[in-house]
């Protein structure tokens, strides 16, 4: 899938997000790194639960070689899944083989944003909300609505402002936001 976001832009985004995290300490201590470990028990590739993983955003794959020993790669086709109509062709789905251990500076974006999600209002105004995705674990940052670091919120918002300039990513966020509005889920606005 053709992305308008250059490799260098993704690199700059990674660097910006390297400097922030949801709390000023490792939130994995609250939950045993639940959002890392639910995909496998770390004992090897065969033990991975293939339902869990991370979709890379269009063009984010430019930062990877697909030979990373800590990632299991799957190539899928957007038209086979619930993606916007503008999406077609290859999409990349990765699973971490050694959770919670990974090269921190190479964590995919969707991992870095959690528990925040972008949300576009009906007037297409960008907001950040707590993730409403159904998960097989519970994240204390969401269940206990723990106050997130302001720097993390700001950096995440800045990054999403840039990302939605890409039409494919805009369409994805718009579709997900519409789905959230149509569901009966409680929307917790963070910014």
- Of 27, 57, 130, 190, the one binding ligand SF4 (CB under 6 A) is 27
38 is a site residue for ligand SF4 (CB under 6 A): no
Place of tokens 């190539």: 75
CB 172 to ligand SF4: min, Å: 20
Q: Which H helix or E strand runs over 8? A: helix 7-18
Angle between helices 7-18 and 150-163 (to 10 degrees): 170
Give the closest residue to 98 by CA, choosing from 33, 37, 34: 37
130 is a site residue for ligand SF4 (CB under 6 A): no
CB 148 to ligand SF4: min, Å: 10
Contact 92, 61 (CB under 8 A): yes
42 is a site residue for ligand SF4 (CB under 6 A): no
Please identify, using beta-carbon distances, which residue of 79 and 150 lies nearer to ligand SF4.
Answer: 150
* Contacting ligand SF4 within 140-169 (CB under 6 A): 140-141
* Contacting ligand SF4 within 167-186 (CB under 6 A): none
Give the closest residue to 168 by CA, choosing from 113, 91, 116: 91
Binding mask 77-116 for ligand SF4 (x = CB under 6 A): -------------------x--xx-x----x---x--xx-
CB 97 to ligand SF4: min, Å: 9
Give the closest residue to 137 by CA, choosing from 20, 49, 56, 7: 49
């Amino acid at each position: 899938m053709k992305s308008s976001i250059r490799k260098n832009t993704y690199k700059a985004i990674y660097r910006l997000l390297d400097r922030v995290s949801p709390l000023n300490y490792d939130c994995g201590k609250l939950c045993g790194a639940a959002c890392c470990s639910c995909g496998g028990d770390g004992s090897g590739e065969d033990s991975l639960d293939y339902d869990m993983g991370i979709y890379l955003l269009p063009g984010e794959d430019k930062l990877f070689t697909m030979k990373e020993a800590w990632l299991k790669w799957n190539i899928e086709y957007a038209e086979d899944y619930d993606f916007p109509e503008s999406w077609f062709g290859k999409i990349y789905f990765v699973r971490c083989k050694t959770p919670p251990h990974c090269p921190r500076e190479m964590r995919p974006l969707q991992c870095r944003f959690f528990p925040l999600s972008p949300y576009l209002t009906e007037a297409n105004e960008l907001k950040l909300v707590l993730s409403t995705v159904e998960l097989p674990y519970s994240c204390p940052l969401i269940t206990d609505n723990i106050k997130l670091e302001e720097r993390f919120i700001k950096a995440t918002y800045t990054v999403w402002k840039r990302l939605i300039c890409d039409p494919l990513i805009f369409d994805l966020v718009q579709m997900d936001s519409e789905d959230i509005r149509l569901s009966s889920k409680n929307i917790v606005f963070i910014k």
